[in-house]
Structure 1
Amino acid sequence: MTWNGEELDIDAYLARLGHTGKTEPDLETLRTLHREHVAAIPFENLDMMLGRPVPLDLPALQDKLLRRRRGGYCYEQNLLFAAALERIGFDVAGLGARVRAGATSTRAVSHMLLKVEVDGEAWHCDTGFGADGLLEPIPLQGGVEMQQGEWRFSLHEEDADDGVMVLRTWRPGDGWFDLYAYTQERRLPVDYVVMNHYTSTHPRSSFIRRPVLQKAGSEVRRRLVGDLLTLTRPDGTADERSVPVGELMDVLDREFGIELDAEDSAELIRVHYAGA
């Protein structure tokens, strides 16, 4: 098995999601698990802030995201999701994307997403893009538009010759906003190990300089970047405020469902808040 699905504690995974329905390799199950995963497991980079490596082997992912009820970023999220889907019986392929999200130059392939086949149809799945990410799978075909909760998404075929697809979200007043671009070239777990090493250790990586926590929701998108907490609504309005050191742990728990122990809390505050 490509994603080591046979090693997954499927009961622990389903319990983490709060899943009580059926688990058949059909579209209803795929949609439900995707939605529940995004709702239950937040996007976060706190281990990098704590000076720790980000292992991608399944035992480590299960320990962190299931047993300790932490979150993770794209590789952690989608590798766990891929293992669960494989265990249930889905045909799952890994893909790689170039994140755009307002970038003015071409970025390296550094984001993981999944292609899942159901009854002969391909679906674009991604539980690890954070606040702007999909809530549910979207059909993997150009020209598709989809409403998910209060948000709109589309897949645009940008270059038919090279097979470049672009996932976009709608922003009131601005129109379609490119999230990332990708092709259907299959990636293997070892490819993500290389991507993960760069993203979690390179001095230019945006993930090693400040805390980044995100959570997509049907009515609000939550972000904590550094000490700035932003809640964005579908009409484009947003509430922003700085989070003082004394409120950090409460915000992690209340907004993102993350509880750190006393030692990790103290270390996070030490490395992030100068003079704290």
Structure 2
Amino acid sequence: MSDAAFDLDAYFARVHLPARPSVDHLGLGVLQRAHRLAIPFENLDVLLGRGIAIDSASVFAKLVTAGRGGYCFEHNRLFLDALLALGFDARPLLARVWIAATDVPPLTHTFSLVTIGEEQWIADTGFGGSYTPPMPLIDGAQATAPDGALFRLDRAGEHGWMLLRDGDLATTDGRGSGTGFQPQYSFETRSVFAADLALSNHWTSTAPVSRFLHTGVVSIVLPNGFASLTDTTYKRRAGSDETRAEITDPRVYRLRLSMMFGITLSAEEVAALGVVAG
């Protein structure tokens, strides 16, 4: 999708952004925050066997026009298109997710590298287990998320850079380790091409060992917290208040998807997910 073809007005309406952000690190933070507050992370189309298209037009149609969410390859395609349309200098990167890894993980995550003046920043709207604020690409750089979690960037030797997180939402399912900084994902800054993204997206959405084929993952950022629905486990944290519940009724699951995450599925689609026994 060319810059001219990207409908910024429709995107701004989707993310509830009343004004055009500035093309600097402050505007980058405003745009990323608005995106994550409005558009949920979710892999439900993977479970429904629909496949995941990551070309610009398909992603815009799903996440903006149809009001659905998506996972990292969808979120960060949309976000990168918006950045480019606004005049940012940005390009995609690929990352290895180290959460719960027992060996070197594959490249299953993407996000954006943004150049602002003489600085490079990472910006990520598609990491479903937490919210990482935009961060300058500087060894030892730190940032605090609205939920109180602390992030740090370290040079990671053979794996390039490592993003670490210290907070009780440090794992993708919300089970915090409580052991300080934990590796989230590693990445290098070499060029990433459309074919690289297509290959990683295909693996993530079809490989038998990919968790997205077996686990329903839905989450959204709250103004001062985070909400997630991992299979039948619902968690919501706002400030110091935390709610946890197990959902056993498909009608309640469907209602929760709609009311908390803004995702509308039919009763038949919820049944086809196989997450909640009917």
TM-score when scaled to structure 1?
A: 0.90
Query: Quick one: which of 199, 205, 209 aligns to 2:210?
Result: 205
Question: How many angstroms does 1:169 deviate by?
Answer: 1.3
Number of matched residues?
Answer: 267
Q: Secondary structure of the residue that 1:141 maps to in structure 2?
A: coil
- Whether the aligned pair in 2 keeps the contact of 1:24 and 1:89 (CA below 8 Å) is no
Q: Give the structure 2 partner of residue 35 of structure 1.
A: 33
- Whether the aligned pair in 2 keeps the contact of 1:5 and 1:86 (CA below 8 Å) is yes
Q: Secondary structure of the residue that 2:211 maps to in structure 1?
A: coil
Code of the residue aligned with 2:262 in structure 1: it is G
Question: How many angstroms does 1:230 deviate by?
Answer: 2.3
Report % sequence identity. Answer: 30
Question: How many angstroms does 1:74 deviate by?
Answer: 0.4
Q: Give the structure 2 partner of residue 270 of structure 1.
A: 272
Cα distance change on mapping 1:78 and 1:45 into 2, 3 Å:
same
> Where do 5+ consecutive residues of structure 1 fail to align?
none
Within the alignment, does 1:123 sit opposite 2:121 as a pair? yes
Question: How many angstroms does 1:199 deviate by?
Answer: 0.8
Question: How many angstroms does 1:156 deviate by?
Answer: 1.4
How many angstroms apart in 1 are the aligned matches of 2:201 and 2:26? Answer: 31
Q: Give the structure 2 partner of residue 151 of structure 1.
A: 149
Query: Quick one: which of 201, 226, 229 aligns to 1:224?
Result: 229
Query: Quick one: which of 157, 165, 169 aligns to 1:169?
Result: 165
How many angstroms apart in 1 are the aligned matches of 2:256 and 2:191? Answer: 38
> Larger deviation: 196-205 or 78-87?
196-205
Question: How many angstroms does 1:26 deviate by?
Answer: 2.0
Code of the residue aligned with 1:168 in structure 2: it is L
Q: Secondary structure of the residue that 1:62 maps to in structure 2?
A: helix
Question: How many angstroms does 1:272 deviate by?
Answer: 0.9
How many angstroms apart in 2 are the aligned matches of 1:170 and 1:218? Answer: 19
Q: Secondary structure of the residue that 1:80 maps to in structure 2?
A: helix
Cα distance change on mapping 1:23 and 1:232 into 2, 3 Å:
closer
Q: Give the structure 1 partner of residue 244 of structure 2.
A: 240
What per-residue deviation string (whole Å, max 9, x for no partner) do you get for residues 185-224 of structure 1? 1212221111111111122111112311122335322221
TM-score when scaled to structure 2?
A: 0.89
